[in-house]
Structure 1
């Protein structure tokens, strides 16, 4: 046990001596959670739009003022001809144009129908779709104000209730995903270079002839990173609560346990990468390229898994990040407990055990 404690102490010394490692472990996660939390969002604010008003009457003026008064749009330009629409889009600043037909107010009074064409720049399809939805919502609200004194014979009134995220804040969706990516990449990347560093520095021979068993060497290399990654997770959760106002509806204890389990899974995966890599550069490339893209694309962080082709949906099941995001959203937003999350917990535990067993077996092969 004394030898094992000394080995763990040596690993801590290695980490604290290397300023680059400390920056990666503590500086990058804080910068990333702040950057991603503020920058990645599916909401729109102060989007520049242009107006082409063929009618120029009181009704179109009311609608324009109503749209301009919202926090979502900023009317940047008034254009005179439809041929100008393409030119304002080509400049790149204007994202949508509202095109009011001629005699808008008269058509609305006489025919009970008037047309507004919403032209959007669809080079970014998600933004274009969001702009059209927000604009349509403002127009529907204006229409309801006009017709509030009219009683129809039959009415279907949808009552919409948003649960878990009533204000539809995009940050509530992105923070769990960003937390998962940071813990996965930092934990796996740092541990992936741990054994390869021993090879490059020529100290692997000392470990090979040491009385420590392979399993103890693996655990000894993981323990410091578990401790440091737990600190990282605490910092991320604190930032999520106080900076992004992320609610924690469920048990903090369960959130901590699940975070530690995911950290161990990520660290075990990093150790597995380090045992099969010959250089630190190779280990880092494998951990970045082999884990970053699948974690971002196949975990459900950005794209819904149900919308993917069936083969990719099947592959996503072996991505640990997918199950941790489900756990985070279940605990933080829904407030559910282990009764509803036991399957995801069991899957993460099984993955961690599998990675550790394979790492030990690979390490044994190097001893023979």
Structure 2
């Protein structure tokens, strides 16, 4: 029995001395429960909306006040034309627009019925459905308040218009998310594992004594995975168009160029991980934990980023897949050009240059 407790003590000391294992065992569950608790929610809150109020009467102002004061919506701007509504949607600034026709209150009081329009960005169909339902419930509540003391009830008819995805197909949101997830995981994980494998089996020493400089060695290791990633992109797009019926509305060449840029960014992350990992298992685990969950939680693929607390929204800015997800939706689903995604493109370029610089600087020429 004494020997048994000696082995227990030995294993405990082993865990205690291995700070990485200790961090994983104790702090990783705490971090995950905090992330899941704040990020995983089906409720949509604080969504930016635009209002096109052509009536500017008491009834329209009252409904606008009710909508903007709810926890689900935040009034982003008042617009003055349908063209301005479309431009604001294209910029990705709003998720919903509310349009009041002229004589809204007059029609409601004299004809006992009036009509308003809700325009939603249905490139994310689940969010669009929820937002129109929230807004409809607020409007119905206002209508019910008017009818409490009326013999002839007032009726407000809500006309819903879905932009970019009128049929509300889930694939329109699913395909960009899968592209970001697949490219990030495949490129990062396989690059990190490939370089660490060379260290484990001892062939890295042979490579390092070759005439090639470390920068070229690293680039040579990543090119095959860049080619494989391009094949993945092509297969995903072919399946999306011909099997899932998700059209490529914008420029195919722009979409491919942005995908190549994101692939290089992901490869840079893999190189950085390989500099710190000593075994293939460590490289794989690090890639999975540091990229799989952030891609799901912080890219906007499953859960809207604006629902999260401000600290988590700030963290999402350093997740490359978030910006690529925005780019794919803008080009593939909305049919926008480079003018609409240049900021996201610059962010990915900046991330790529930074990651490659750090990776090359930390690349050890002696093992």
TM over 0.5: yes
Q: Which residue matches 2:28?
A: none
Instruction: Please report how far the alpha carbon of residue 158 of structure 1 lies from its aligned counterpart in structure 2 after TM superposition.
Output: 2.0
**Structure 1 residue 269 and structure 2 residue 269: aligned?**
yes
Instruction: Please report how far the alpha carbon of residue 224 of structure 1 lies from its aligned counterpart in structure 2 after TM superposition.
Output: 1.0
Q: Structure 2 matches for 1:24-63, cutoff 5 A?
A: none
Q: Which residue matches 1:306?
A: 306
Q: Which residue matches 2:181?
A: 181
Once the two structures are superposed, residues 82-102 of structure 1 have per-residue CA deviations (whole angstroms, 9 ceiling, x without a partner) of xxxxxxxxxxxxxxxxxxxxx
Instruction: Please report how far the alpha carbon of residue 153 of structure 1 lies from its aligned counterpart in structure 2 after TM superposition.
Output: 7.8
Instruction: Please report how far the alpha carbon of residue 288 of structure 1 lies from its aligned counterpart in structure 2 after TM superposition.
Output: 0.9
Instruction: Please report how far the alpha carbon of residue 352 of structure 1 lies from its aligned counterpart in structure 2 after TM superposition.
Output: 1.0
Q: Which residue matches 2:240?
A: 240
Q: Which residue matches 1:254?
A: 254
Once the two structures are superposed, residues 247-277 of structure 1 have per-residue CA deviations (whole angstroms, 9 ceiling, x without a partner) of 2110000000001001111111111111211
Q: Which residue matches 2:159?
A: 159
Segments of structure 2 that go 5 or more residues without pairing to the other structure are: 1-41, 43-125, 141-151
Give the alignment's TM-score, normalised by structure 2.
0.58
Q: Which residue matches 1:348?
A: 348
3-state SS in 2 of match to 1:318: coil
Residues of 1 paired with 2:166 and 2:296: CA distance?
26
Residues of 2 paired with 1:153 and 1:276: CA distance?
70
Q: Which residue matches 1:207?
A: 207
Residues of 2 paired with 1:223 and 1:232: CA distance?
14
**Structure 1 residue 326 and structure 2 residue 333: aligned?**
no
Residues of 1 paired with 2:198 and 2:366: CA distance?
14
Residues 183 and 266 of structure 2 are in contact (CA less than 8 Å); yes or no, is this contact kept in structure 1? Answer: yes
Residues of 2 paired with 1:175 and 1:232: CA distance?
13
Q: Which residue matches 1:230?
A: 230
Once the two structures are superposed, residues 313-338 of structure 1 have per-residue CA deviations (whole angstroms, 9 ceiling, x without a partner) of 00000000000000010011110011
Q: Which residue matches 1:195?
A: 195
Residues of 2 paired with 1:275 and 1:242: CA distance?
41
**Structure 1 residue 359 and structure 2 residue 359: aligned?**
yes
Once the two structures are superposed, residues 189-227 of structure 1 have per-residue CA deviations (whole angstroms, 9 ceiling, x without a partner) of 100111111111111111221111011011111111111
3-state SS in 1 of match to 2:158: coil
Instruction: Please report how far the alpha carbon of residue 154 of structure 1 lies from its aligned counterpart in structure 2 after TM superposition.
Output: 5.0
Residues of 1 paired with 2:333 and 2:312: CA distance?
26
Give the alignment's TM-score, normalised by structure 1.
0.58
3-state SS in 1 of match to 2:191: helix
Residues 191 and 222 of structure 1 are in contact (CA less than 8 Å); yes or no, is this contact kept in structure 2? Answer: yes
Residues 299 and 322 of structure 1 are in contact (CA less than 8 Å); yes or no, is this contact kept in structure 2? Answer: yes
Residues of 2 paired with 1:260 and 1:247: CA distance?
20
CA RMSD in angstroms comes to 2.5
Residues of 2 paired with 1:153 and 1:267: CA distance?
63
Q: Which residue matches 2:97?
A: none
